[in-house]
Structure 1
Amino acid sequence: MKIALFASGNGTNVESIIRSVETGQLTAEISGIYCDVATAKVIGRGKKHGYPVYVFLPSDYQSRRAFEEAIVDQLQQDQVELVVLAGYMRIIRYALLDHYTNKIVNIHPALLPQFPGKQGIKDAYVAGVTETGVTVHWVDRGVDTGPIIAQEPLKVDPNWELAELEAEIHAIEHRLYPAVLQSIIEGSH
């Protein structure tokens, strides 16, 4: 299955997916890395592994729809079958959802429906929860509201600092996401 990886920042989830493909744990073909931030570290990660990197900056387009249509054009040229959001911090709308209905998957650093949005780890930490975790879900027109594919809980140590919680969540993400993607490829989800 041809997949496209979308990210906006460091790209540690992208890196874990790439490693999973390279080791054969994930039987996908990565068509490219898609990014919406010109200075994101994920760009270097993608290039280091020899994948095409596409940087689409929203400011280069007249509208959000035009921005997404340009991305869809590239996805279709590359014959992408599944869009994988891996730290992509932009809300998906319009053309992407229209062309890739039920074919966009996201990972979220909290147990949805708790703590949706872009700072799920920090929100859970500030709330003082005793349990949080990671969710993999299909993307719909809401913000982190799509059907849940998989979740893995994490008991929160009350002595953890925010950075420790972040590290624990990221470790789960890096293990869980490739496994869930493989189950999607195999038709289990």
Structure 2
Amino acid sequence: MLRLVVLISGGGSNLRALLARCDDPDFPAHVVAVGADREADGLVHADEFGVSSFVVPFTQYETREAWGDAIVEAVQVWSPDLVILSGLMRLLPPHVVDELTPGLLNTHPAYLPEFPGAHAVRDALAAGATETGASVIIVDHGTDSGPILARERIAVLPGDTEGALHERIKPVERRLLADVIQRIAEGRIDLEAAR
């Protein structure tokens, strides 16, 4: 049974989906803790599912590196097998990535390497793309540039808004993440080999 720590910044809709998936006794992972860089609305999902949570407020540290040290310390208390970034809207300092990789995973609302960055859905629409997608990656030092563990295409429909397209992408992100976690647990993905 894989131990997961999930890090969030916002409402945590993807976190909620993962918590629900982990409630399935046949799913080979469980969330042991949820962390946030602020008093995020999504922490309510951890409470709802009886999962411990912690907050490491970015604004209480003089440097990003000092905040990163505190994040690593808070995460490692839980001895996780995987750390999942689920809407954490703050870049982790390089030493944090080094400490947690290759077990540091992120989902992204695009078919990487297309449209990396914080505005992937908006960027796809602005580029006039007819397709975008969802991806699950190992986090590295670049912007959404880590090894791709899973990805899937999603059509951009005529008249799509950023919100409508993003809502269609989210269920695919959630399914891909659960599938990747399952494959890691079953030994079908070797993170060391993938990095």
TM-score by length of 1: 0.93
Q: State the shift of 1:42 in Å.
A: 0.8
Q: State the shift of 1:25 in Å.
A: 5.0
Q: What residue number does 1:32 align with?
A: 33
Q: 1: CA distance between counterparts of 2:167 and 2:136?
A: 18
Is structure 2 residue 93 aligned with structure 1 residue 93? yes
| Identity in percent | 34
Q: What residue number does 1:59 align with?
A: 59
Is structure 2 residue 122 aligned with structure 1 residue 133? no
Q: 1: CA distance between counterparts of 2:177 and 2:115?
A: 19
Q: Show structure 2 runs of 5+ residues with no match.
A: 190-195
Q: State the shift of 1:92 in Å.
A: 1.9
Is structure 2 residue 147 aligned with structure 1 residue 170? no
Q: What residue number does 1:2 align with?
A: 3
Three-state SS of the structure 1 residue aligned to 2:4 is strand
Q: 2: CA distance between counterparts of 1:120 and 1:99?
A: 27
Do 2:135 and 2:176's aligned partners in 1 also have CA atoms closer than 8 Å? no
Q: 2: CA distance between counterparts of 1:81 and 1:171?
A: 24
Counterpart of 2:14 in structure 1: which amino acid? N
Q: Show structure 1 runs of 5+ residues with no match.
A: none
Q: CA RMSD in A?
A: 1.4
Q: 2: CA distance between counterparts of 1:9 and 1:25?
A: 28
Do 2:6 and 2:35's aligned partners in 1 also have CA atoms closer than 8 Å? yes
| Mean Cα deviation higher: 17-26 or 143-152 | 17-26
Matches within 5 A, 1:96-111: 96-111=96-111
Counterpart of 1:162 in structure 2: which amino acid? E
Q: 1: CA distance between counterparts of 2:77 and 2:95?
A: 15
TM-score by length of 2: 0.91
| Mean Cα deviation higher: 6-15 or 178-187 | 178-187
Do 2:138 and 2:148's aligned partners in 1 also have CA atoms closer than 8 Å? yes
Three-state SS of the structure 2 residue aligned to 1:145 is coil
Counterpart of 1:170 in structure 2: which amino acid? K
Higher relative CO (Cα under 8 Å, sequence separation at least 6) belongs to 1
What is the total number of aligned residue pairs between the two structures?
188
Q: What residue number does 1:19 align with?
A: 20
Q: State the shift of 1:62 in Å.
A: 2.0
Q: State the shift of 1:163 in Å.
A: 2.2
Three-state SS of the structure 1 residue aligned to 2:79 is coil
Three-state SS of the structure 2 residue aligned to 1:23 is coil
Is structure 2 residue 122 aligned with structure 1 residue 122? yes
